[in-house]
Amino acid sequence: MKKFTLLLTFSILSFFSFSQEIKESIFKSEIQEVTVFLSGAQIFETASGQLSAGESYILIKGLSPYLDEKSIQVKGMGDFTIQAVNKRLDYLSEQKMSEKVQVLQDSIWGIQRNKSIEHARLEVLKEKVGLLNANKNIGGTQNGSSLAELKQAMDFYDAELTKIKAEELKIQANLQKEEEEISRLGNQIATMQESSNEATSEIRIRVKSVRAGSADFEINYLVANAGWYPKYDVRVKNVSSPLALTYKAEVYQNTGVDWKNVKLRFSNGNPNQGGQIPDLEKWELNFARLTTFNPRTQNFGSVSGKVISAMDGSPLPGASILVAGTTIGTVSDSEGNYSLTLPSGANRLIASFIGFQSRDIAINSSNLTISLQEDTQALEEVVVVGYGERQKESITGANVQIRGVSSMDAVAASPLQTSVVENQTTVEIEVAEPYSIKSNGEKTLVDLKKYQVDASYRYSVVPKLDNDAFLIAEIADWGQYSLLEGESNLYFEDGFVGRSILNGSALQDTLEISMGRDRSIVIQREKNDEFSKKRAIGSNITESREYKITVKNNKSQAVTINVEDQIPVSVNSDITVEALGLSGGKLDPQTGKVVWTIALQPGAQQELKLQYEVKYPKREKVILD
C-alpha cells in the first residue's frame, strides 16, 4: 500500500513538474474590430511577440469574462505549429478601477472634505453662541443699565443670534444634500463595480516551434452582454419635400472590456438564435368545445417603467429590454428607467442584465416595473486558477482560419462614413471612422446612414376612434436601404411631433411611416339622431344609423386624406346588414371597412355620410352603439 501511495505521489509530482516546464509567455493584444450583433458581439484582436524554441503557452490576458469558448478562432503567422487553444478565467489579475469610477470616487472625497469644513464651522458658531450667552449681563452685576443700553444690547444679541442660526440652518441643509449626493454616488459606484469580483478571461495557445522567433496571432471570439438596437430620426420639412431619414444604432456593451478606437460593424444577424429549420408538426382538428383558444390581449402604444433587483429593489442601470420577436429595444438609464414605443401586436418584453436571470414579461400595462432575480449559478462550473490548483481545460479547434484583420483608416471621416456589406445571410453596416465605447452599460448612439428619400404624403384619419389626422409618408422601393424594425423620432416642420415604429420587416412594396398627428386637419364625427331609428316590421326589428363626418383643411397647402370608418359585419344568418349611403366611399364587405380618399384645397371642407341598416329577430338584441 505504501509503495502504491509513493508511486501515485511520484506520478502526480512528475505531472506537475512536466507541466511547469512548459514556458508561458504573455502576449499583449489589442482589439482591432468589433462586429456588433443584435445580441452579442464578435471581437477581432491581434497579438504579437517572441516565441522561444520548443513547446510553450502563449497567454492572451485581460479578455471579457463573458467570452464564449466555443466561438474562439485563432490564426497564427510564423514558423510554429498551434497545438491547442483553450480559455480559462483568471481571478488573480488585478482589477483596474475604471476612469469613470475614479471620477465618482474623487467627487465623494471632495464632498467629504467640504463636509469636514462645514462641521468645523458649526463648532465655531457653537462657540460664538456660548460666548454671547456668557456675556448677557450688561454693565456688570453691580450697576444697573439704562433703557437705551438694554435696547442696544437686545438688538445686538438679536442680530448676532439670527445670523448664527441662519448660517447653521444653511450648513445643515448643505450637509443633508451632501449626504444624499454621497449616497447616490456610492450607489452608482456599487452598480458599476458589481462585477469587480469576477474574473477576466484569458486565451491559452499551446504552440511548438523548432526555433525561436517572432509570432503574430489573429483571434476572434463571441462575447455576451453587448448588442445594438435600430433607431431612426425621420424629418419632413413639408409635404412637398423629400423625407430625411437618419439610421442610427443604439449600442450597449457590458463585456468588462472597453472598446478603444476600434472599427465597428453592425450586423442584422443574431448568433444566439438557433440555425435549425423548424419541423412542421401534425395539425389535429377537433370540435370547438374541445379546442382551447388564447384570449386576445390588449395592445399598448408604448411601455415605460424601471428595472430593479428583486433582492433589494435597487435600480439596474444598463439592463437590456427587448420587445419579443422584434429588433426594437433599449437600455435602462442610470436610474434603471426605460421607455419603449411598441409595434402593433407586441405583447411581451424580454429583460436581461449581467449576473441576473433573463425574464420574459407579458405587456399588460403601459407602465411595467421589471424585477430580476440574481443568477446564482453564473460561472458555477469555473475552477479557480492559482495557488497550486489546476483548471479543467477543454480544447477547442486550433489553427482555425479567420478572415484577415484589416488596418484601420488613420484619417477620420467627417461626416461619419459607412458602407453596407450584403453577405449571404446577413447585412452589415461598416463604420469607417474608429469608435470607442466603454464597458459601462450606457447606451451610445452611432449615426450609420443618412438618406434623402423621395416620398409621397397623405393623411389618414379614423374618426370613430380618434379625431386627429395622422400624416403618412410612403416610400417606394425601400428595400435598398436595409432597414430593420425600430423606434423612430418624428420631426415635422422643424418640430418634434412624437415617436413611432418604422416597420422595416413589412412585406409591402411601399413602406409607410407614420409621422404623427397634424391638428391642422380638423375632423368631426356626429350621429344623426333624426335618421337613427328603431322600428318593428313583422317578426323583425330594423334599426338604421347615420353618421356625418366633416373634414376641414386649415393648412396653407392642398392635402389628400384617407378617411376610414366601418359598418358592422354579420356573423349570424338571422342578422342582415345593408349599406344605404356611403358618399362614394369604398366598402370592403369582408371587413366592413369604408374608405374615402378626398382632396381638399386650403381652407376647404367636405362632409361625408355613413348610413346603414340592421335587421334582426324581435326576440334577440344587438348592440349598435
- Residue 396 banded pLDDT, cuts 50, 70, 90: very low
Environment class of residue 109 by beta-carbon count within 10 Å: exposed (0-12), middle (13-18) or buried (19+)?
exposed
Interval 293-311: pLDDT, tens: 555 556 777 899 999 998 8
Which residue from 231, 324, 349 is spatially nearest to 273, judged by alpha carbons?
Answer: 324
The rounded distance, in Å, linking the Cα atoms of 229 and 419 is 18
* β-pair partners for 35: 42, 265
Q: Is 512 helix (H, G, I), strand (E, B) or coil?
A: strand
Instruction: Specify the pLDDT at position 561.
Output: 93
Helix ranges (H only) for 317-459 are none
199 pLDDT above the threshold of 60: no
392 pLDDT above the threshold of 50: no
398 pLDDT above the threshold of 50: no
CA angle, 95 then 97 then 101, to 5°: 150
- The C-alpha cell at 173 is 441643509
Instruction: Specify the pLDDT at position 526.
Output: 93
Which residue from 523, 542, 526 is spatially nearest to 534, judged by alpha carbons?
Answer: 542
Q: What percent of the chain clears pLDDT 90, i.e. is strictly above it?
A: 27
Instruction: Specify the pLDDT at position 463.
Output: 93
Q: What is the CB neighbour count within 10 angstroms for residue 7?
A: 10
- Residue 416 banded pLDDT, cuts 50, 70, 90: low
CA angle, 231 then 232 then 238, to 5°: 165
Q: What percent of the chain clears pLDDT 70, i.e. is strictly above it?
A: 79
Q: Average the pLDDT over 114-123 and give the result.
A: 85
428 pLDDT above the threshold of 70: yes
Topology classification of domain 522-617: Immunoglobulin-like (2.60.40)
Rounded to 5 degrees, φ, ψ at 152 are: -60, -40
- Beta strands across the sheet bearing 302-309: 337-341, 302-309, 367-372
Q: Is the dihedral of CA 23, 29, 34, 39 positive or negative?
A: positive
Instruction: Specify the pLDDT at position 568.
Output: 92
DSSP state of 196: T
The winner for highest mean pLDDT among 190-204, 440-454, 563-577 is: 563-577
Who contacts 164 (Cβ-Cβ below 8 Å, separation ≥6)?
A: 125, 128, 129
The mean pLDDT value of the chain amounts to: 80
Instruction: Specify the pLDDT at position 194.
Output: 52
Q: Is 401 helix (H, G, I), strand (E, B) or coil?
A: coil
Instruction: Please report, for residues 21, 25, 274, 331, 366, the alpha-carbon distance to residue 17 in angstroms, rounded to integers and kept in the order given.
Output: 6, 18, 44, 50, 64
The rounded distance, in Å, linking the Cα atoms of 28 and 608 is 75
The winner for highest mean pLDDT among 87-101, 137-151, 266-280 is: 266-280
The rounded distance, in Å, linking the Cα atoms of 204 and 58 is 6
93 pLDDT above the threshold of 90: no
Q: Is 153 helix (H, G, I), strand (E, B) or coil?
A: helix
- Residue 275 banded pLDDT, cuts 50, 70, 90: low
Interval 374-391: pLDDT, tens: 876 654 433 333 223 333
12 pLDDT above the threshold of 60: no
- The C-alpha cell at 28 is 499583449
Instruction: Specify the pLDDT at position 301.
Output: 79
- The C-alpha cell at 4 is 502504491
Q: Average the pLDDT over 577-602 and give the result.
A: 93
Q: What is the CA radius of gyration of the chain?
A: 36
Which residue from 203, 157, 186, 224 is spatially nearest to 58, judged by alpha carbons?
Answer: 203
The model's pTM is 0.62
- Residue 288 banded pLDDT, cuts 50, 70, 90: low
Q: Say how far residue 115 (Cα) sits from the centre of its chain.
A: 38
Q: What is the CB neighbour count within 10 angstroms for residue 126?
A: 12
505/116: higher pLDDT: 116
182 pLDDT above the threshold of 60: yes
Q: Average the pLDDT over 554-560 and give the result.
A: 89
593 pLDDT above the threshold of 90: yes
Instruction: Specify the pLDDT at position 413.
Output: 34
Instruction: Specify the pLDDT at position 537.
Output: 83
Instruction: Specify the pLDDT at position 30.
Output: 93
Instruction: Specify the pLDDT at position 409.
Output: 37
141 pLDDT above the threshold of 80: no
Cβ 570 vs Cβ 576: under 8 Å: yes
The number of residues in the chain equals 625
Beta strands in 210-354 (DSSP E): 213-223, 226-236, 243-253, 259-267, 302-309, 320-323, 329-331, 337-341, 348-352
- The C-alpha cell at 262 is 476600434
588 pLDDT above the threshold of 90: yes
Who contacts 362 (Cβ-Cβ below 8 Å, separation ≥6)?
A: 297, 347, 348
